[in-house]
Amino acid sequence: MPILLSRRSFLLASAGTALALGLPHRLAASEVPAGRLTVAADSEPTNLNPAIVASNGVFFVASKVVEPLAEADYNGPDGLVPKLALSWEGSADGKAVTFKLRPDVKWHDGKPFTSADVAFSALEVWKKLQNLGRVVFKDLESVDTPDPLTAVLRFSAPTPFQLIRNCLPALTSVLPKHVFAGTDIMKNPANEKLIGTGPFKFVEHKPGEYYLLRRNEAYWAQGEPHFNEILFKVLSDRQSAGAALEAGEIQLAAFSAVPLADLDRISKVPGLKVYSTGYEALTYQMIIEINHTRKELADLRVRQAIAHAIDKGFVVQAIFRGYATAATGPVPQTDKTFYNPDVERYEFDPAKAETLLDEAGYKKGADGIRFHLKLLPAPFFNETVQFGAYLRQALAKIGIDAEIVSNDSPAHLKAVYTDHAFDLAVGTPVYRSDPAISTTILFQSGIPAGVPFSNQYGYANPKTDALIAAAAVEIDPEKRAELYKQFQKLVVDDLALINVAEFSFITVASENLQNVSNNPRWAVSSWADTALPEMAP
């Protein structure tokens, strides 16, 4: 059976309407800003506030409006470039980080941006409400604001400056205190009708059709941005983006909106260019989540058998069309600081898998079946669905009958992370430059039920928890990296979950579009320097 593929980021997976807004404005070279940039999108997050929901589906639109303290950069010191903060410095004891803020920045409603906004965002939003910040900023105790352009974050326990630095692009979107203070933050209308300091202002969301952003005439970076408007056009299906690019109705499709199977053809279309860069800080991981409370799966030999039944090379080539890498553990190979190559490898070996299952006492019955499992592939990507089908076949070959249970996104999240109603699940967590940001939560025990993308598998190892706790307060970067390397070896030995593949995305854009994919988080950055000179006639 042929495999028809397309890839989407999580929260970029809901339907919309057909193309309906006409051809883009033809740009004149003398225009600054120049016209409208029209972009493919197919999601409409219920909360568009990136300070609360740090996810790529939210960032895709919101990062043009609401800015972080710093952004990822290919060439900047520590891989960062200043945004709302000009500098950041950690104290020797790991209990304070001082930010010097950018002067003469205004919110879109004209109010001045100050350290009070950073203090409010850190204490009331990142620490209390943000899906990822609640872990990183858990020990944040107070924020001093000795002047309008200085914010000093103070922690009750040593907090690695390395971690704070690594989290700046994704976890420090700053909100206006004067808009949110004294309100029910989660219900504030500004969670959709965003008010930020970014290069574009939020104008309108027409459900099922588009998000419209307009140029911020008072943006702090002189001469930027280079568009009057950005229109995120919600497309009706996963074949629409390629057709819209070819027709000139959009100029950009990010996050692999063009199906991987169509890339070879699209790459030959005159006037279009394919980019495989610009996502290095957004490494997605395809994993198999394992319910350790299930008797059979609590046996390490059974988990090892499942790992040996998977042909990762086939998954990379057949499902991802080569746009992925076989995974070895929870930290991707692109992270040169934390990655540990010296972990147990579970090579494709169905015969060994069968031997392990026999040794575990699960012999094949007369029907060739050892036991039955429920398998829940996440609906976030076509690849997770395709992999679910492949995994079912791979398990059948070693005598495990896996029944696929298909759910929409809300039902899947509830089944896996609240109800624990699964045996195996296929998930796609994102690695965000540091294991403490969104990776250790997949292995730490004691996470309350209902927390998405966390350890809801019943896996508990005191040694794992101890390594996570030690790294959380280790302020020496080299010692901290070594603790995470030990952590990787331990959880791979335990097979707490099975890491299958590491993957990224593809951008297709008009070849005239300038400054595309020029930072490691480009699709979810501000696009302040992106420009589109006059198209050739």
Q: What is the pLDDT of residues 298-336, one digit of tens each?
A: 999 999 999 999 999 999 999 998 989 999 999 999 999
Q: Is the separation of the CB atoms in 33 and 229 below 8 Å?
A: no
33 preceded by cis ω (within 30°)? yes
pLDDT at 6 over 60: no
Identify the pLDDT of residue 14. Answer: 31
Query: What size, in residues, is the chain?
Result: 537
Structure-derived torsion over alpha carbons of residues 367, 369, 374, 379, reported in degrees to the nearest 10: -90
pLDDT at 278: 94
What mean pLDDT is predicted for residues 250-279?
91
User: b/e per residue, 124-156, with b = 16+ CB within 10 A?
Assistant: bbbbeebbbbebbbebbeebebeeebebbbbbe
Helix 462-473 vs helix 477-494: crossing angle, to nearest 10: 160
**How large is the average pLDDT for residues 107-125?**
98
Residue 63 CA to its chain's centroid (Å): 13
Strand stretches in 42-138, DSSP E: 70-72, 80-82, 85-90, 96-101
- Whether residue 17 is predicted with pLDDT greater than 80 in this model: the reply is no
Q: Quote the pLDDT of residue 534.
A: 56
Residue 356 in tokens:
């392990």
Task: Name the one residue in this structure whose structure tokens are 């609640």.
Answer: 134
pLDDT band, residue 451 (cuts 50/70/90): confident
20: pLDDT confidence band, cut at 50, 70 and 90? very low
- The CA distance from 205 to 385, in Å, is 30
Cα dihedral 77, 133, 255, 176 in deg (nearest 10): -90
As given in the structure block, the two tokens for residue 342 are 């010296």
- pLDDT, one tens digit per residue, over 490-516 is 999 999 999 999 998 899 999 999 999
Residue 441 has pLDDT above 50, yes or no: yes
Query: Tokens at residue 387, please?
Result: 């992999």
- Contact predicate 527/64, CB 8 Å: yes
Three-point CA angle 464, 315, 266, nearest 5°: 125
pLDDT over 90 (residue 200)? yes
Decide: 292 and 282 in contact? Cβ < 8 Å. no
Tokens found for residue 144: 């001093």
- Condensed to tens digits (0 to 9), the pLDDT of residues 418-438 reads 999 999 999 999 999 999 998
Q: CA-CA distance, 263 to 247, in Å (whole number)?
A: 16
Per-residue model confidence (pLDDT) at position 499:
98
- pLDDT band per the 50, 70, 90 thresholds, residue 3: very low
Q: Read off the pTM.
A: 0.85
Is 90 exceeded by the pLDDT of residue 135?
no
Q: Does the pLDDT at position 213 exceed 50?
A: yes
**Is it the case that residue 125 has pLDDT exceeding 80?**
yes
Q: Considering only CA atoms, which of 432, 430, 381, 423 is closest in space to residue 400?
A: 423
Mean pLDDT for all residues in the chain: 91
CA 31, distance to chain mean position in Å, is: 35
| pLDDT value of position 13 | 33
Strands (E), 313-412: 324-326, 371-377, 400-404
**362 in Cβ contact with 302 (< 8 Å):** yes
Query: Among 3-12, 36-45, 222-231, where is mean pLDDT lowest?
Result: 3-12
Distance of CA 204 to the CA centre of its chain: 25
Identify whether the C-beta of residue 261 lies closer than 8 Å to the C-beta of residue 5: yes
Predicted local distance difference test score (pLDDT) of residue 238: 66
